Amino acid sequence: MKTILNLIKKDVVRFLKDTPALILTFVVPAVLIIIFGNIFGGGNDSRGKPEIILVNESNSPAAEFLEEKLDSSDLLQTVKVYHQDGKEIPFTEESAKEFVSKGKITAAVVLPEDFLSDTSSGMKIKFYYDPKNEIESNLIQGGIQKTIFSEMPAIMPYLMQRQMSNLLGSDSGKIFNKKMADLIGESFGFNPDSVFKSMTQIDLNQLQNDSTAAGADFMNNLINIESEQLVGKEIKSPGVTRIVGGWAMMFLLFTLTGASISIFEEKQEGSLRRLLFMPITRSQILWSKYLYSILLGIVQLLVMFFISWVVFDVDIFSNFFNLFVVIVASAFAAVAFGMLITAMSKTIQQANGLATLIVLVMSAVGGSWFPVSLFPNWIQVISKFTITYWSVEAFLDVLWRRASLVDILPNLGVLLATAVVINYIALYLFKKRSVV
Amino acid sequence: MIEIKNVSKKFENTEALKGVSLKVEKGEFFGLLGPNGAGKTTLMNIIVGYLKPDEGKVFIDGTEMKSDDVSLREKIGYVPQDIGLYQELTAMQNLKIFGSFYNHTKKELNERIEQALELVQLNDRRKDVVKEFSGGMKRRLNIAASLLHDPEIILCDEPTVGVDPQSRNAIFEMLQKLNADGKTLIYTTHYMEEAERLCNRMAIIDYGKIIAGGTLSELIDLLHTRETLKIRKTKETEALLGEIKKLGVFSEHDFYFEIRPNENYDVYSKLFADLETIGLDSKFVEISRASLEDVFLYLTGRSLRD
């Protein structure tokens, strides 16, 4: 038994000395649990609510009422103005559509002038959306429906009154019902007032939950939502098109950090020293490693997108130039990041542990796995400090909405600027710490 | 040809080299001897420009070697102590990669590779991956990779570490052939027998300082005698220990006593007469010529492998 205990002690001592193993065993899972917990609602911080543009062009009190309810919704965050030249400009239907089309926001709800028309018994709502993030898009649609239907009882009497007047003329319904109630009360001995009351009250809850066609028709007559998908209608494989950029970016990071870290392998096997005994400078070695990694990253991303085209018919060619530009910028940023990890580490084990931790966290936080808009606000802020975020958004823009070079310039700018800054820090550390 | 002037190098709290000065002439086979940690590899790394000395300078053919100017490295072939090869590649692929960093045409490089493979006797293994090689084969390929540009100077940093005797002999023969072809070699080792066999001239380095230098004969002359007596430990010899100690510098080992006689015996009959005088039977005595090991022991008071 003593031997076994000593053997266990030996394993514990070795494990505690192994920093990468400690990171992979405790830190990586802990960080991922925190991130996933927050995404799926386990965190204490408020979950980020998806934003929608709300335009109310109607003068109807019912529209005003619905606007108030959408404003105070727990599920959605309404936006009503945008800023241009330092001015606050209220959204119109056209500007709202433009914002959705350009991917600046996922959806817009318009309560049009004819929200309640003279000829219609129900209300009319326009819904414009961009399902580039399917989960977010579904959440928004669900949030709007829930808000409308939960507030229906309050609006319903007004709508019902209008329906009655449309069918029976002004006030005729009431007279008819009153006379019928009096007749039923007299014939069957009921209180005519009670009969009248029950005739004019409809069980709204029952109607809402009515799964029959009649119930659905009734509700559809009351609420007419005109939905229009503004972006991505022509995309053949929307599901794969949405995710391919995120996954490609994650694997790119793994590959390129690995390629940079290979400096340690060459150091360990002695081949790096041999190169330095030859007419080769340290900076030539670093530059070659950098350029090789970028080339590898570009080829890897091209292959991944090519496979998505072959297998899932993802359209990579109609906006290929811009896709290629994003691929190059992403590769630059990812390689710089790999070089930084290498420069910060003392051993290959340390570099591998650090790379695994940072790549997984960046992928989770930056939107490789889930749309960033689903995260709590504080994670959404952090996500903007990851290269994954800017890269994934740019991939989605070029593949989903065929974004132009101008549209993706901010993303390219962030990726390339990050690459320059990180490279500068990495080079400084390489020199200071004599990694090569 | 190679001149090292007052070179010093410090790593954190360790002074690896303390004012080392040496001169190695063209065509010499020069040995740098010393125990592990003496500073041999540091000095070699400074000669090739891999490390920058804190003080002092190195000149190759009169031109100062600078770590940021790699052009002088064209003249040097460095055989590192560690196997600096890509293990997952074949011998041929390794040689092509390392040879590509010099100004060869494709044809010249192929010729150089053929010559190098022939020299290290690995022609028939050129297509095999290095990780499948034995230790000796890896060492030989390690040398070949340093000779592809036909360097004038070859720096060998303990190239026989962990090598079986057969491969070691093959390496020795190869290096001697290179020297015979006019190459200048600097060879570091802590095996004195290697230095004795290979080097025309040598320097002994210890704790970062050159403590002696010269030809083998000149170094052994530092000892006042050229012979060492090894006297087997037995009841009889132990009984005579007091008398034995008077013969010279005494040291005791596991199975024998060692004496470096006070007197230089040019004629062994005199030695045997002295042994007889103290009653020591010559069957217990083995006489050996003094070696570099003895020189090192004499100079430092320590064995080379301590």
Task: Tell me the per-residue pLDDT of A243-263, one tens digit each, with 9 for 90 and over.
Answer: 899 999 999 999 988 888 888
pLDDT band for A211, please (50, 70, 90 cuts): very low
Are residues A122 and A149 in contact, defined by beta-carbon separation less than 8 angstroms? no
Among A273, A280, A281, select the one facing B84 at the smallest CB separation.
A273
Report the share of chain A in percent with pLDDT over 70.
85
Cβ separation B101–A275 shorter than 8 A? yes
Does the pLDDT value for residue A320 go beyond 80?
A: yes
Cβ separation A276–B145 shorter than 8 A? no
What's the CA angle centered on A305, arms A301 and A309, to 5 degrees?
A: 165
| pLDDT tens readout for residues B140-155 | 999 999 999 999 999 9
Q: How far is CA B141 from CA B45, B129, B147, B265, in A?
A: 20, 11, 10, 46
Q: How far is CA B179 from CA A335, B139, B140, B175, B200, in A?
A: 46, 18, 16, 6, 11
Chain A residues touching chain B at CB-CB below 8 Å:
269-281
CATH number for A69: 3.40.1710
Quote the pLDDT of residue A221: 62
Question: Is there a domain that residue A11 lies in?
Answer: no
Quote the pLDDT of residue A202: 46
| Chain A residues within an 8 Å CB radius of B146 | 274, 277
Mutation for testing the A interface, residue in B42, B101, B158 having most A CBs under 10 Å: B101
Same domain, A322 and A374: yes
Does the pLDDT value for residue A142 go beyond 90?
A: no
Cβ separation B102–A273 shorter than 8 A? no
Token pair for B80: 């590192």
Mean pLDDT calculated for residue range A271-283 = 91
Chain B residues touching chain A at CB-CB below 8 Å:
48, 50, 68, 70-71, 73-74, 76, 78, 80, 82-87, 98, 101-102, 145-146
Quote the pLDDT of residue A203: 46
Cβ separation B70–A280 shorter than 8 A? yes
> How would you write the pLDDT of chain B (306 residues) with one tens digit per residue?
899 999 999 998 899 999 999 999 999 999 999 988 899 999 999 999 999 999 999 999 999 998 888 889 999 999 998 899 999 999 999 999 999 999 889 999 999 999 999 989 999 999 999 999 998 899 999 999 999 999 999 999 999 888 888 888 988 999 999 999 999 999 999 888 899 899 999 999 999 999 999 998 889 888 877 778 888 999 888 888 888 888 788 888 888 988 877 776 665 677 777 788 888 888 888 888 888 888 888 888 777 665
Among A270, A276, A279, select the one facing B82 at the smallest CB separation.
A270
Among A162-166, A304-308, A419-423, which stretch is predicted with the lowest mean pLDDT? A162-166
- Closest CA in chain B for residue A278: B73
DSSP B290: -
Cβ separation A278–B84 shorter than 8 A? no
| Chain B residues within an 8 Å CB radius of A277 | 48, 50, 73, 76, 78, 80, 84, 146
Question: Is there a domain that residue A349 lies in?
Answer: yes
Question: Is there a domain that residue A252 lies in?
Answer: yes
Same domain, A277 and A419: yes
Report the share of chain A in percent with pLDDT over 90.
36
Same domain, A137 and A286: no
Quote the pLDDT of residue A166: 63
Quote the pLDDT of residue A206: 46
Give bridge partners of residue A87 from the DSSP assignment. Answer: A84
- Closest CA in chain B for residue A280: B70
Crossing angle of helices A348-366/A28-39, nearest 10°?
A: 0
Distance from the Cα of A268 to chain B's closest Cα (Å) equals: 9
ipTM: 0.83
Same domain, A379 and A282: yes
Coil/strand/helix, residue B244? helix
Mutation for testing the A interface, residue in B48, B82, B109, B143 having most A CBs under 10 Å: B82
Domain count, chain A: 3
Q: d(Cα A92, Cα A78) in Å, to the nearest integer? A: 14
Same domain, A173 and A113: no
Quote the pLDDT of residue B124: 94
Same domain, A354 and A413: yes
Cβ separation B101–A271 shorter than 8 A? no
Cβ separation B71–A281 shorter than 8 A? no
Does the pLDDT value for residue A423 go beyond 80?
A: yes
Same domain, A261 and A401: yes
Question: Is there a domain that residue A103 lies in?
Answer: yes
Cβ separation B85–A270 shorter than 8 A? yes
End position of a domain, from candidates A194, A229, A264 = A229
Same domain, A298 and A411: yes
Distance from the Cα of B76 to chain A's closest Cα (Å) equals: 8
Question: Is there a domain that residue A12 lies in?
Answer: no
Question: Is there a domain that residue A180 lies in?
Answer: yes
Question: Is there a domain that residue A88 lies in?
Answer: yes
Annotate chain A with three-state secondary structure.
CHHHHHHHHHHHHHHHHCHHHHHHHHHHHHHHHHHHHHHCCCCCCCECCCEEEEEECCCCHHHHHHHHHHHCCCCCEEECEEEECCEEEECCHHHHHHHHHCCCCCEEEEECCCCCCCCCCCEEEEEEECCCCHHHHHHHHHHHHHHHHHCHHHHHHHHHHHHHHHHHCCCHHHHHHHHHHHHHHHHHCCCHHHHHHHHHCCCHHHHHHCCCHHHHHHHHHHEEEEEEECCCCCCCCHHHHHHHHHHHHHHHHHHHHHHHHHHHHHHHHCHHHHHHHCCCCHHHHHHHHHHHHHHHHHHHHHHHHHHHHHHHCCCCCCCHHHHHHHHHHHHHHHHHHHHHHHHHCCCHHHHHHHHHHHHHHHHHHHCCCCCHHHCEHHHHHHHCCCHHHHHHHHHHHHHHCCCCHHHHHHHHHHHHHHHHHHHHHHHHHHHHHCCC
| Chain A residues within an 8 Å CB radius of B87 | 269
Same domain, A310 and A337: yes
pLDDT band for A99, please (50, 70, 90 cuts): very high
| Chain B residues within an 8 Å CB radius of A436 | none
pLDDT band for A47, please (50, 70, 90 cuts): low
Among B82, B87, B101, select the one facing A278 at the smallest CB separation.
B101
Are residues B293 and B204 in contact, defined by beta-carbon separation less than 8 angstroms? no
Domain assignment of residue A147, given as a range: 47-152+211-229
Burial class (CB in 10 A: 0-12, 13-18, 19+), A79: middle
Same domain, A288 and A351: yes
Same domain, A198 and A58: no
Cβ separation A276–B102 shorter than 8 A? no
pLDDT band for A330, please (50, 70, 90 cuts): very high
Does the pLDDT value for residue A43 go beyond 70?
A: no
| Chain B residues within an 8 Å CB radius of A431 | none
Cβ separation B84–A279 shorter than 8 A? no
Same domain, A66 and A192: no
Token pair for B36: 């592990």
DSSP-derived pairing of the beta strands A81-84 and A87-90? antiparallel
Question: Is there a domain that residue A7 lies in?
Answer: no
Among A45-59, A190-204, A406-420, which stretch is predicted with the lowest mean pLDDT? A190-204
Nearest to A222 by CA among A145, A286, A329: A145
